[in-house]
Amino acid sequence: MSRLDQSCSVALCSYNGEKYIGELLNSILNQTVPPDEIIIVDDCSSDGTVSLLKSYAKKFTQIKLNIQSTNLGPISAFQLAISLTTNSFIFLADQDDIWSPRKIELMLLSGTGHRSDLPLLAFSDLEVINEKGDFVRLSFWEMAGLYPHHTTFKSLMFGNVVTGCASMINAKMKEYLSVLPQGVLMHDHWMALIAYGFGQVEIINQPLVKYRTHLQAVTEKARAGFRWKLKKQFSQFSSEQYLENEIKQMREFAKLNLDKLSKEDREHILQFIKLRGKSLLRKKIISLIRFRKRR
């Protein structure tokens, strides 16, 4: 098919990923609509990752390497990789996944018609595979109990539904990611808050990434199903630190973006921030009444 008249970049961070990163790069390079550039920030790998990446860069001119001498951590590394991209649409990638051959094509099509002056986040479901690449589950959303179509800015304050490696953003979203405060839990959660809060969201129901997860964790989750989800939620809900990190993140979000939200969402975020330092019981009661009652 045509290039869709859209330029695109891939932002990839690597760290000791020599075991799988070649498989990922092959899946990106063999897309039906290949990217114009692949920006790779290596976050101080100590294995053979850098040598492998250099061998790929010699063969494929679209691969541009940025080798770090000190470890940045995942949030700062992705922020740097995204900042180095030069195209209208940017795809995020994780070093141990495999892309569907039409991922870029389908996601670019999903971005067609959206406003370029508003931040855009497009994201898809993921197929789950184990360390050997064997099929585990068709839908990561189903396995993890995620419902992106029913997600709102209000519900995102409690937890994220967006997986970075299944995401595409536009240049305007890139601008908003140039500042990531200390309290950000993860870059993909921050992107989701921006997109659902005052930007544009495009949800692609089909899995466009084979998402590699540790075998033990995947097996446990697949076997436990609903019981595992309840156990996880109960563990989070019974901690004395319940919501404290999420509240910190929303305080930082409000400092930067409160004026961009609707009146209703401004009220939601201010009420959520007021939960900081409250007793566990009070946080449970208030969050259930004010936030969980209606999505």
Report the pLDDT value the prediction gives residue 218, as an integer from 0 to 100.
39
Report the pLDDT value the prediction gives residue 242, as an integer from 0 to 100.
84
**Which of 30, 81, 82 lies closest to 60 in space, CA to CA?**
30
pLDDT at 143 over 60: yes
Report if residue 185 sits inside a domain: yes
Report the pLDDT value the prediction gives residue 130, as an integer from 0 to 100.
93
* One-letter amino acid of 57: A
| 130-139 pLDDT, tens digit each | 999 999 999 9
pLDDT at 238 over 70: no
Going by pLDDT thresholds of 50, 70 and 90, the confidence category of residue 289 is low
Q: Do 105 and 205 fall within a single domain?
A: yes
Q: How many Å apart are CA 163 and CA 189, to the nearest integer?
A: 8
**Which of 61, 51, 64 lies closest to 18 in space, CA to CA?**
51
Q: How many Å apart are CA 262 and CA 285, to the nearest integer?
A: 25
| 157-213 pLDDT, tens digit each | 988 999 999 999 999 999 999 999 999 999 999 999 999 999 999 999 999 999 998
Q: Do 38 and 163 fall within a single domain?
A: yes
Domain boundary among 167, 198, 215: 215
The two most distant CA atoms of the chain are separated, in Å, by 59
pLDDT at 82 over 70: yes
3-state helix, strand, coil in the chain (%, to 5): 45, 20, 35
User: Going by C-beta distance under 8 Å and a sequence separation of 6 or more, which residues neighbour residue 80?
Assistant: 41, 66, 72
Report if residue 1 sits inside a domain: no
Q: Do 20 and 100 fall within a single domain?
A: yes
Structurally, the chain folds into a number of domains equal to 2
pLDDT at 5 over 80: no
Q: Do 192 and 236 fall within a single domain?
A: no
Buried-exposed string 150-180: b where 16+ CB fall within 10 A, e elsewhere: ebebbbbbeebbbbbbbbbbbbbbbebbeeb
Is the sign of the CA dihedral 185, 135, 96, 196 positive or negative? negative
CB atoms within 10 A of CB 249: 20
- Say which CATH number the domain at 125 has: 3.90.550.10
Q: Report percent pLDDT > 90 for the chain.
A: 78
Q: Do 199 and 147 fall within a single domain?
A: yes
Q: Do 21 and 144 fall within a single domain?
A: yes
Average pLDDT of the residues in 145-161: 93
pTM: 0.89
Q: How many Å apart are CA 268 and CA 291, to the nearest integer?
A: 8
Q: Do 190 and 259 fall within a single domain?
A: no
| 103-118 pLDDT, tens digit each | 999 999 998 889 999 9
Which residues constitute the domain of residue 141? 8-215
Q: Do 279 and 141 fall within a single domain?
A: no
Residue 93: both structure tokens together: 């990638």
Q: How many Å apart are CA 207 and CA 125, to the nearest integer?
A: 4
Going by pLDDT thresholds of 50, 70 and 90, the confidence category of residue 231 is very low
User: Going by C-beta distance under 8 Å and a sequence separation of 6 or more, which residues neighbour residue 181?
Assistant: 252, 255, 256
Going by pLDDT thresholds of 50, 70 and 90, the confidence category of residue 294 is very low
| 14-66 pLDDT, tens digit each | 999 999 999 999 999 999 999 999 999 999 999 999 999 999 999 999 999 99
Domain boundary among 165, 185, 215: 215
pLDDT at 230 over 50: no
pLDDT at 223 over 70: no
Q: Do 227 and 211 fall within a single domain?
A: no
Going by pLDDT thresholds of 50, 70 and 90, the confidence category of residue 269 is very high
Beta bridge partners of 42: 14, 67
pLDDT at 225 over 90: no
Domain boundary among 182, 200, 215: 215
CB atoms within 10 A of CB 242: 18
Report if residue 2 sits inside a domain: no
